[in-house]
Amino acid sequence: MDSKCKFSLLLSCSILMQRRLFLYNFRNLRKAKGRRETYLCYVVKRRNSATSCSLDFGYLRNQMGCHVEVLFLRYIAAWDLDPGHCYRITWFTSWSPCYDCSQHIASFLRSYPNLTLRIFMARLYFCEDRKAEPEGLRRLHKAGAQIAIMTFKGELCRQGRDDGELRGVGETQERGRRGQCPIEHPVHCTDFFYCWNTFVENREQTFKGWEGLHENSVHLARKLRRILMPLYEVDDLRDAFKILGL
């Protein structure tokens, strides 16, 4: 059995995430002690001129000795993507990639110029000063990946979202039967609502945000923006702060 079939069998048994897993692992705490697993929800689409076709959706989590980002890259590489078509992959991850995974993803994107990747993250992994992870995110961004923090409020959802296919200004998808790709409907939502309605066995319950969700999302988005700033801009800001005595 080839690797694609193995992964397909794995995903067919767990295409929707349990509610408790989503609420625990995607909680965007500033200090998320004990959350050592990374969950990755994904949608794969093929673009045909002005339209697009959903090919697959589901979720993965890291396995012993292998990070979830690498697992997904192996999975999609087994598809033998047609170089004559353009593909768009969207991830929603509980943690941002580590430095090594960022390197793997950047290399993968360079190998597949007909593929675009967007990553929406609930939390930032080890993105403090003197860590390698911020540099990994900068290299990943430079390789063409679109990187953002998962949002909760609609006004944030509209910032930098120019895609009318998957989410646009609050698009969501209604699940079909188990194992089918989602169907799109123009309903106002944000990243957490979208994930709840697309990847979670929610039993038609409405997503309810936890205390601090929006504030933490704004805080993490600002932090990511600072990380992705060109280094010379950061140096200019530091010099300005020194002059002002801040």
Q: Where are the domains of the chain?
A: 3-244
Residue ranges in the chain assigned as alpha helix (H): 3-12, 19-25, 68-77, 99-111, 133-142, 154-157, 191-199, 213-228, 231-244
Average pLDDT of span 40-64: 89
List pLDDT tens digits, range 184-223. Answer: 433 345 899 999 999 999 988 889 889 999 999 999 999 9
List pLDDT tens digits, range 70-88. Answer: 999 999 999 989 999 999 9
Residue 24 has pLDDT above 50, yes or no: yes
pLDDT given at position 171: 34
Q: Token pair of 207, please? A: 């997503």
φ, ψ dihedrals at 86, nearest 5°: -100, 140
Q: Token pair of 46, please? A: 């093929």
CATH 3.90.1150.10 fits 3-244, yes or no: no
Element (H, E) at 32: none
φ, ψ dihedrals at 176, nearest 5°: -90, -150
SS3 (DSSP) at 173: strand
pLDDT given at position 235: 55
Residue 146 has pLDDT above 90, yes or no: yes
* Whole-angstrom distance, CA of residue 54 vs CA of residue 151: 23
Confidence band for 132, pLDDT divided at 50, 70 and 90:
confident
Beta bridge partners of 17: 200
Average pLDDT of span 145-164: 63
Average pLDDT of span 94-122: 96
pLDDT given at position 245: 67
Residue among 45, 221, 182, 66 nearest 117 (CA): 45
- Active centre residues (catalytic): 69
Residue 130 has pLDDT above 70, yes or no: no
Share of the chain above pLDDT 90, in %: 53
pLDDT given at position 51: 77
φ, ψ dihedrals at 194, nearest 5°: -60, -50
pLDDT given at position 181: 53
